[in-house]
Amino acid sequence: MPKVLVLSAAAGLLTGAAVEAQQVADIGFDSVGRAAPLLAAIPAPTPADLATIEAFPPRDAMVGPSRLAMPGPGGEVAYSDEGSAWDGAVPDEVEPLPVDLFTSEDFYADRELWSDPRYFRCNSPFAVEAQWATGAVGDDPPRTAAWGYCDRDYPREAIVSPYPFETAEAHYAALLEETRERGGPTEHTYATVPGEWSGRYVWPRGQNWYAELLWNQVPTILSLLTEEYRTRMVQEAYHQGRTNAPQWPAQYCWPEGFMRRWHYHGVTNQPHSVLVTPELVQFLAGDADNFVTNIHIGREFNMDGAVPRLGADVPQWYGETIGFWDRDALITWTSNIQGWKVHGNPEFSSRLQTVEIYTPNRDADGRFIGLNHEGIFYDPEALVEPIRMVRNLDRIGGFGEGDPYTFIECTASIFPLGGLATPVAPGTVIEYTVPDMFGRPWAQIWREYHEQGMTRPEDEDIFSFD
């Protein structure tokens, strides 16, 4: 088995633009809990303009295979394939496993193989879910699914949190104490609040490891998860790559959930809107759903519930968020999140909490050009240790220009019939089982229709109110 190639600046594999796109904020001092250097940058350059912001990231560093459709010389559709082996072939110098995700009849029984990239044919999570949709799965699917590159990966040590804290509460408290030592927190009025933040922002594609999971071997992501949540992620990969029975919340108009705001295709078809007031800062984004983050400045959580909260002791889809200003940086803590999923990415639990920091990005002349967004994620039920993500939101203008925000209203036209996502025309009468939204409805469908005879371990339904 070839050694995994670490993509890092030290290895000389990244362009200057890519490194620049992945820099953390330059805050001018060593902090106890923010702006720690990145150990590796994502090899995706920042787009030069809005016309290229949706462009597929460079494929020469992606883990998985990709197949892009493009017009041929005579107007016919031609395909540009990038991958190490196609249509049932095996890459040179790679010895395939006797069974893998695409040939297994029982992924539960293959648990000992999950840590081997070859079990997933060296696909990234993104590539697994794209196999059928792009035709990369070959002429005799799923046996002929394409291989990715076994010598590529984004390093685990660049994903885990670089900070010493075990909880979001401790992390937030340390940043608050640090701010007090610097003379803060800053208490803004309408005269001093950074109004230049208010406006519209875009998020260039490909610059964050989590956004589409283009850069990771599946076992690297699994190594971040507890045993139960590793099983859940492999379950989803199996039903996307093997059975071709994906259960994506957006296709059914189900809720999207908190972590989808970090998934590129959940929030980027229209610009993010940011509004700043002395008491409340709001981030609004929408693509698959309306994602609203209300940051309550200067408030404190009620600590007597299951998790810290502001309102009722009931989890909220996007959680509840408090924050404070350290001069021109906004530091936040989010709790009381409803556990859910992001398709292709790991599930998360209702114990998830985050510390997120928004810091201005400025050009060489000191002009405000956007926000650096650093998030640290604490989920003791799903994660074996905290993880970190960094992205940059580029400001493209104020609210006096461009299209206004389009509110997303999802009207269901696809239903999980017989275990498969099935379009249903208006006026059609169907027999439909109402899903238990707090009982992992996607897993209920897979188990009922696609896992008969499998050796599924008994597990606890942590989403149930029973």
pLDDT digits (tens, 9 = 90+) for 30-53: 999 999 999 998 876 666 666 777
Helices 441-450 and 227-241 pack at an angle, to 10 degrees, of: 60
Q: How far is CA 82 from CA 55, 60, 79, in A?
A: 16, 8, 10
Cis ω for the linkage preceding 57 (within 30 of 0): no
Q: Do the Cβ atoms of 5 and 152 come closer than 8 Å?
A: yes
Q: What is the pLDDT of residue 56?
A: 79
Cis ω for the linkage preceding 246 (within 30 of 0): no
Radius of gyration of the chain (CA): 22
Mean pLDDT of 9-18: 30
Q: How far is CA 406 from CA 51, 264, 284, 289, 448, in A?
A: 20, 18, 11, 10, 37
Cα distance between residue 280 and residue 297, in whole Å: 6
Residue with the larger pLDDT of the pair 344 and 70? 344
pLDDT in tens, 153-170: 999 999 999 999 999 999
Q: Do the Cβ atoms of 419 and 240 come closer than 8 Å?
A: no
pLDDT greater than 90 at residue 9 = no
Q: How far is CA 389 from CA 23, 208, 209, 219, 263, in A?
A: 12, 7, 7, 18, 11
Mean pLDDT of 261-271: 91
When the pLDDT of each residue in the chain is averaged and rounded to a whole number, the result is 90
Q: What is the pLDDT of residue 44?
A: 67
Which three-class secondary structure state does DSSP give residue 293? Answer: strand
Question: Of all residues in the chain, what percent carry a pLDDT higher than 90?
Answer: 82
* CA angle at 224 for the pair 310 and 158, rounded to the nearest 5°: 95
Q: What is the pLDDT of residue 45?
A: 65
pLDDT in tens, 96-145: 999 999 999 999 999 999 999 999 999 999 999 999 999 999 999 999 99
Q: Do the Cβ atoms of 233 and 241 come closer than 8 Å?
A: no
Mean pLDDT of 173-190: 97
Cβ neighbourhood burial of 293 (10 Å; 0-12, 13-18, 19+): buried
Q: Do the Cβ atoms of 290 and 407 come closer than 8 Å?
A: yes
DSSP β-bridge partners for residue 273? 200, 284
- Amino acid identity, position 453: G
The pair of structure tokens assigned to 210 is 């989590």
Mean pLDDT of 286-306: 95
> Beta strands 290-297 and 320-326: pairing type?
parallel
pLDDT in tens, 412-464: 999 999 999 999 999 999 999 999 999 999 999 999 999 999 998 875 444 44
pLDDT greater than 60 at residue 3 = no
To which H or E segment does residue 355 belong?
strand 353-362
Residue with the larger pLDDT of the pair 250 and 15? 250
- Lowest mean pLDDT: which of 65-74, 199-208, 225-234, 303-312? 65-74
Which three-class secondary structure state does DSSP give residue 16? Answer: helix
Phi-psi region of 342 (alpha: psi -120 to 50; beta: other; left: phi over 0): beta
The torsion angle over the Cα atoms of residues 347, 58, 132 and 418, rounded to 10 degrees, is 30
